[in-house]
Amino acid sequence: MDIKFTVGQQRFNHRAAAVIIKDGHLLIHRNVRDDFWALPGGRIQLMENGETAIVREINEELGLKAEVTRFLSVHENFFTYDEVSFHEVGFYYEVTILDDIKITNKDFFGTEGEELIYRYVPIEQLETVKLYPEKLMEMIQSGEWSPLFSNE
């Protein structure tokens, strides 16, 4: 059972998100009806740790084997989506894909159908993409995350 609950028009959500970088590109995704992008991931289930959740989510959504390289941070996020006010706690992990994947400049769908669109965006073009949570760019550019995104 996913760790989420709704009270009226408010919802708590516990999420794990993957920072997947390959060949200078970051993997992002969005729902087909949205105009913003986010990191791939999903809800953590009751009695499941975040590392297990993100590996499971990558397998479910993309059909890929993954492993967590390291925990990056936790982020508490407040936002409104579909007229529901969310309180989300997200665990962010650096994730390595164990399967052979090719970087493409075209959008693609995962194994769950055509609801989520995936894209590899060059790191130097990240600022041109509307990424959520809003603090994500700040998280990427500061602290321990920044070495992941350097082109050196």
Domains and CATH numbers, the chain: 4-144 (3.90.79.10)
Strands 84-97 and 10-19: parallel
147 prior amide bond cis, ω within 30: no
pTM (2 d.p.): 0.93
* Residue 146 confidence (pLDDT): 79
Per-residue pLDDT of the chain (152 residues; tens, 9 = 90+): 999 999 999 999 999 999 999 999 999 999 999 999 999 999 999 999 999 999 999 999 999 999 999 999 999 999 999 999 999 999 999 999 999 998 998 999 999 999 999 999 999 999 999 999 999 988 888 767 878 887 54
**Phi (first) and psi of residue 95, to 5 degrees:** -125, 140
* DSSP one-letter code for 128: G
Q: With the CA atoms of 95, 99, 105 and 111 taken in that order, what torsion angle do they form, in degrees rounded to the nearest 10? A: -90
The rounded distance, in Å, linking the Cα atoms of 152 and 133 is 26
Do 32 and 110 contact (CB within 8 A), yes or no?
no
